[in-house]
């Protein structure tokens, strides 16, 4: 099946809703209510973006955010800002291990939050060959530490025994 | 302050006031959700409130009611689940769309229930009935331990896991209890050997002070003989003790291992979805050994070393208290150092364990997949990956090695310096005594015996200082083992209930299921299977057909809705009874490292040889088994007889056949074999299913020729259900699938004809 690739010459995107965009192709065809999704939300957030129609079928595809025009890129970035919530942890305040359950309180770019981690072996993952750490809490919410080395020494100390 | 309405967590007084101010007696709040996201998806306290007539949202950080919408104004209400968060959206009758509530997945289930509730009310469902669902959702939320997320046996009871962790060491005592008599004897022996060990320095003192200066050769001989006897007794006793500890240690280890293994057998599939099997294996083999070593050796030593320490101090004090105080001078430093050390080293142990478990996981993941690695010539990459795992372990362990070795070095240095202090201070006292016999209070012999006591004394001190080491690693192991031992096993609420007729009617009632709460794998499935039905389940991969069967086999129990067999909820039937009466044939059947006979009779050795051969015959397996040189005694598995996929499949059909099951489940049993073998298997299956309720998952629709009912599953929902004829007439999805397959079959047949022609 042929994939409809969008770049700055073939189509333009406008944000029409919290998470919908409108695609206008060069030939004037308009596709409404497309939902952009990252295909690599963790490893390549700005590349390989699929646009799903109402039936969750792929209608169009953006290979790289740099290949589309600025207005379209901003439209996608705005949608993603709403859709993807992966708070970036800036400080680890405290890790409490009482009763065998692991509970973290952290500062993130979205504010302070506490959460529980169910399985410290599988829910705290350092990405292979990077400094990023992805965390999943007991409710399946995701968190990210973009750069372990950039953390302050207290945070590093708290994190240390879980990596 | 208790809220008069349902709420997911306790609000503080200010929040409760704010919530209360929004309601009045005429339109009271029925339930509330305390959420954690503000409208711009920043973390903030906010609430969603539902009254009899409206839905309200409140932002505590801004202290304002952000939305207040009457049900009658709502055109449409729905939740959009996004990534890590969701939003509740309302379309009003005037056409405007509002994002009324942002939430993280922590409260997503409640938000979903709220939407369902509002829709039901709007569709005219009685408020009471609609509220029951809400109530159930809240109850379910409360029946999950807020600390560890484990499902509780009943709402509100203390979590088994969280409660028992406190008594971690108390639990370990349980394993030692049967060995108590031997342990006590061992302790008594060690106290005796310790006491004996205190004698030689006293004799040395006599040797130096009396025997040598006075040239008493007769006494010298007696003292020597005495010393030899003492040493023989001492080491003989400690040998006996070592043997006793080893024997009872093995018993303890066996018990723990078996118990952990048994528990691991009864853990729900959920546990294995999350934990890699390599990690579980590591815990059963490695961690139990660490634990055993700790429980026996270390706990024994604690007693022994304590006695030794007290004994030495007493003897030393009796001989000379001043010199004793001097020799004890470095002790506090050693003790404080060990405390600091303990805090520093704990995280390292975890890290090292995690790294070495990563190495094991890499092994268990790649070695079984060696064929794939070879076929993609991926040897180099997998070697590199393994090497980097080992490398990470090496780096971590080396880092820890710095601290691990610096500490004993420092301690030993301090101890050596302590000996120097005794020499210099005690030496001075001796010289004083020699110069002025009037104040003589210490002889050369006393000094020499003191030095040996002091060096003996540091053994227990050293032991207690290093105790943190073994305690830490043992505690870490305990934690991991308890993770298995304390994990909630598969629920067997119906234990003992063997009244259900498993050949009876199977009913799925409003069954919904999701593995991780983010995506529903099954949505509101309703299905009736009559006794004797042969049901084919059809659908694309990932549509949920295997999950449907997994639920029926009770691999997962935490679904919504109900599955009944013969009118009884399957969760209320005795698990062993239930499963033993279902024949399950998988796509790639697992063969155990055992004889073919035992593989067929697997799980129950009471079958007679005739029964097994009969079952193999019906399954069309007998014919290839008799061709094996070792017949039914052929060993399967590594270095044993390699069976082809189709042969293994027939062995597994024989396995199912033998049990004379009431219900049969085939999970793509013929997906991986050639058409001729498929025919043999098909034939075997037909023998097997006569008169039994049968459920077959199939890709190849030709497998379903005998089915009298077809269920088409798509995206977690049953989209078509009926007899094959009905579905063909409907010209829906099944019709299309049949068309596609008969077309490709035709093409294949033509190609074959060409080749042979």
Residues of chain B within CATH 1.20.1560.10 domain(s) are 165-485
Residue of chain A whose Cα is closest to the Cα of B106 = A139
CB atoms under 10 Å from CB of A71, counted, come to: 12
pLDDT in tens, A36-49: 999 988 888 888 99
Residue B472 CB coordination number (10 Å): 20
The per-residue pLDDT for B155 is 47
Tokens of B697: 């998952």
Contact in structure between A85 and A140 (CB atoms under 8 Å): no
Give the whole-angstrom CA distance, residue B629 versus residue B307.
66
B347 versus A136: which is more confidently predicted?
Answer: A136
B685 versus B735: the higher-pLDDT residue is: B735
Closest CA to B209 of B449, B447, B443, B453: B443
Q: What is the pLDDT of residue B225?
A: 92
Predicted complex: ipTM over 0.90: no
- Among residues B562, B559, B569, B558, the alpha carbon closest in space to that of B504 is found at B569
Residues of B in contact with A83 (CB under 8 A): 82-83
Residue range B377-429, pLDDT digits in tens: 888 888 988 898 899 889 888 888 887 787 778 777 877 787 888 888 888 88
Token pair belonging to B292 = 């055993």
User: Mean pLDDT across chain B, nearest whole number?
Assistant: 80
CATH architecture for the domain at B6-142: Roll (2.30)
How do the domains of chain A map onto residue ranges? 5-83, 89-160
Of B2 and B372, more confident: B372
Task: Give the span between the Cα atoms of B32 and B110, in whole angstroms.
Answer: 9
Take residue B108 and report the two structure tokens written for it: 């997503």
- Please judge whether A110 and B165 are an interchain contact, meaning their C-beta atoms are less than 8 angstroms apart: no
Q: Provide the 10 A C-beta neighbour count for residue B549.
A: 18
CATH number attached to the domain at B165-485: 1.20.1560.10
User: Which residues from B are below 8 Å from A115, CB to CB?
Assistant: 106
Q: Which residue of B has its CA nearest to A102?
A: B148
pLDDT digits (tens, 9 = 90+) for B108-154: 888 888 888 888 888 877 777 777 777 777 776 666 665 555 555 44
Distance from B106 to chain A by nearest Cα, in Å? Answer: 5
Report the distance separating Cα A28 and Cα B627, nearest Å.
Answer: 71
Burial code (b: 16+ CB inside 10 Å, e: under 16) for A73-110 equals bebbeebbebbbbbbebbebeebeeebbbbbbebbbeb
Out of A29-43, A118-132, B226-240, least confident range: A118-132
In chain B, CATH 2.30.29.30 covers 6-142
Residue range(s) occupied by CATH 3.40.50.300 in chain B: 506-756
CATH architecture of B506-756: 3-Layer(aba) Sandwich (3.40)
Whether B43 sits inside 8 A of A103 (CB atoms) is no
> Can you give B607-669 as a three-state secondary structure string?
CCHHHHHHHHHHCCCHHHHCCCCCHHHCEECCCCECCCHHHHHHHHHHHHHHCCCCEEEEECC
Rounded Cα–Cα distance for residues B358 and B387 (Å): 11
Q: What is the pLDDT of residues B278-325, one digit of tens each?
A: 777 877 887 888 777 777 777 778 888 888 888 888 888 888 888 888
pLDDT greater than 60 at residue B486: yes
- Residue B523 burial (CB count, 10 A): 16
First to last CA, chain B: 88
A residues 6..65 contacting B (CB < 8 A): 17-19, 41
Quick one: what percent of chain B has pLDDT higher than 70?
88
Q: Which chain B residue shows the shortest CA-CA distance from A41?
A: B83
B36-94 pLDDT, tens digit each = 888 888 888 888 888 888 888 888 888 888 888 888 888 889 888 888 888 999 999 98
Tell if the CB–CB gap between A83 and B83 is shorter than 8 Å. Answer: yes
CA distance B102 to chain A (A): 10
Interface mutation vs chain A, best among B83, B344, B357, B480, most A CBs within 10 Å: B83
Rounded CA separation B616/B601 (Å)? 10
Vertex B155 angle, CA B152 and B156, to 5°: 95
Give the pLDDT confidence of B273-286 residue by residue, as tens digits: 766 677 778 778 87
* B11-23 average pLDDT score: 80
Average pLDDT over residues B448-469: 77
- What are the φ/ψ torsions at residue B500 (nearest 5 degrees)? -70, 145
Answer for the pair B36, B106: CB distance below 8 angstroms, yes or no. Answer: yes
């Amino acid at each position: 099946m042929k994939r409809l690739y969008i770049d700055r010459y073939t189509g333009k995107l406008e944000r029409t809703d919290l998470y919908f965009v409108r695609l206008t192709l060069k030939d004037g065809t308009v596709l409404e209510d497309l939902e952009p999704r990252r295909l690599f939300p963790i490893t390549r957030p700005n590349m390989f973006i699929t646009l799903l129609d109402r039936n969750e079928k792929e209608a169009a595809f953006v290979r790289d955010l740099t290949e589309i025009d600025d207005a379209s890129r901003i439209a996608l970035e705005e949608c993603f800002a709403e859709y993807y919530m992966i708070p970036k942890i800036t400080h680890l305040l405290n890790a409490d291990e009482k009763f065998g359950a692991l509970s973290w309180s952290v500062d993130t770019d979205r504010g302070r939050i506490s959460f529980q981690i169910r399985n410290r072996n599988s829910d705290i993952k350092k990405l292979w060959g990077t400094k990023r750490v992805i965390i999943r809490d007991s409710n399946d919410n995701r968190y990210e530490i973009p750069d372990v080395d950039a953390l302050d020494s207290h945070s590093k100390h708290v994190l240390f025994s879980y990596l | 302050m208790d809220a008069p309405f349902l709420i997911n967590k306790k609000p503080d007084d200010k929040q409760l006031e704010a919530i209360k101010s929004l309601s009045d007696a005429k339109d009271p709040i029925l339930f509330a959700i305390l959420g954690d996201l503000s409208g711009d998806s920043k973390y903030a306290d906010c609430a969603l409130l539902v009254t009899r007539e409206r839905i309200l949202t409140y932002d505590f950080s801004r202290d304002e009611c952000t939305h207040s919408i009457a049900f009658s104004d709502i055109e449409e209400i729905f939740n959009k689940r996004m990534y890590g968060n969701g939003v509740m959206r309302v379309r009003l009758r005037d056409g405007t769309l509002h994002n009324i509530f942002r939430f993280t997945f922590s409260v997503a289930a409640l938000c979903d229930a709220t939407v369902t509730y509002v829709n039901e009310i709007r569709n005219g469902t009685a408020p009471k009935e609609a509220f029951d669902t809400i109530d159930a959702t809240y109850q379910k939320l409360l029946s999950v331990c807020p600390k560890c997320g484990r499902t509780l046996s009943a709402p509100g009871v203390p979590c088994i896991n969280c409660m028992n962790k406190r008594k971690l060491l108390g639990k370990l005592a349980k394993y030692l209890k049967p060995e108590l008599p031997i342990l006590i004897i061992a302790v008594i022996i060690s106290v005796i050997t310790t006491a004996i060990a205190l004698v030689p320095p006293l004799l040395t003192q006599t040797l130096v002070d009396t025997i040598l200066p006075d040239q008493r050769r007769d006494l010298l001989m007696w003292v020597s003989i005495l010393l030899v006897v003492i040493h023989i007794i001492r080491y003989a006793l400690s040998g006996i003790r070592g043997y006793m500890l080893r024997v009872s240690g093995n018993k303890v280890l066996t018990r723990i291992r078996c118990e952990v293994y048994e528990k691991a057998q009864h853990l729900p599939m959920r546990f294995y979805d999350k934990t890699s099997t390599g990690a579980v294996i590591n815990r059963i083999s490695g961690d139990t050994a660490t634990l055993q070593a700790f429980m026996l050796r270390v706990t024994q030593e604690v007693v022994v070393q304590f006695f030794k320490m007290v004994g030495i101090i007493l003897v030393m004090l009796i001989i000379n208290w001043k010199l004793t105080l001097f020799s004890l001078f470095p002790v506090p430093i050693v003790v404080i150092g060990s405390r600091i050390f303990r805090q520093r080293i704990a995280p390292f142990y975890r890290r090292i364990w995690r790294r070495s478990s990563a190495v094991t996981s890499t092994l268990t993941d790649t070695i079984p997949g060696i064929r794939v690695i070879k076929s993609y010539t991926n040897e180099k990459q997998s070697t590199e990956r393994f090497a980097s795992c080992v490398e990470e372990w090496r780096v971590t362990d080396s880092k820890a090695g710095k601290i691990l070795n610096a500490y004993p070095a420092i301690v030993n240095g301090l101890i050596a310096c302590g000996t120097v202090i005794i020499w210099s201070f005690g030496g001075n006292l001796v010289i004083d005594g020699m110069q002025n016999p009037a104040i003589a209070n210490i002889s050369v012999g006393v000094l020499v015996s003191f030095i040996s006591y002091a060096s003996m004394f540091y053994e227990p001190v050293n032991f207690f200082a290093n105790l943190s080491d073994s305690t830490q690693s043992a505690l870490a192991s305990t934690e991991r083992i308890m993770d298995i031992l304390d994990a909630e096993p598969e629920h067997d609420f119906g234990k003992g209930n063997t009244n259900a007729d498993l050949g009876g009617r199977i009913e799925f009632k409003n069954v919904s299921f999701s593995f991780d709460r983010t995506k529903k794998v099954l949505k509101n499935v309703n299905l009736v299977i009559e006794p004797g039905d042969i049901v084919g389940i059809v659908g694309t991969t990932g549509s949920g057909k295997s999950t449907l069967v997994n639920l029926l086999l009770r691999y997962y129990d935490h679904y919504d809705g109900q599955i009944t067999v013969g009118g009884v909820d399957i969760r209320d039937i005795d698990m062993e009874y239930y499963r033993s009466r279902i024949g399950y044939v998988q796509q790639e059947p697992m063969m155990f490292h055992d004889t073919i006979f035992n593989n067929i009779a697997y799980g129950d050795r009471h079958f007679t040889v005739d029964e097994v051969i009969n079952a193999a015959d019906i399954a069309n397996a007998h014919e290839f088994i008799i061709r094996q040189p070792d017949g039914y005694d052929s060993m399967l598995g590594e270095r044993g007889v390699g069976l082809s996929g189709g042969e293994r499949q027939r062995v597994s059909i024989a396995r199912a056949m033998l049990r004379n099951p009431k219900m049969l489940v085939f999970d793509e049993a013929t997906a991986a074999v050639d058409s001729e073998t498929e025919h043999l298997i098909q034939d075997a299956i037909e023998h097997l299913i006569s008169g039994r309720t049968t459920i077959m998952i199939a890709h190849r629709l030709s497998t379903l020729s005998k089915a009298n009912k077809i269920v088409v599953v798509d995206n977690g929902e049953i989209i078509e259900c009926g007899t094959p004829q009905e579905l063909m007439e409907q010209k829906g999805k099944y019709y299309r699938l049949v068309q596609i397959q008969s077309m490709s079959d035709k093409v294949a047949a033509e190609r074959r004809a060409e080749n042979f022609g």
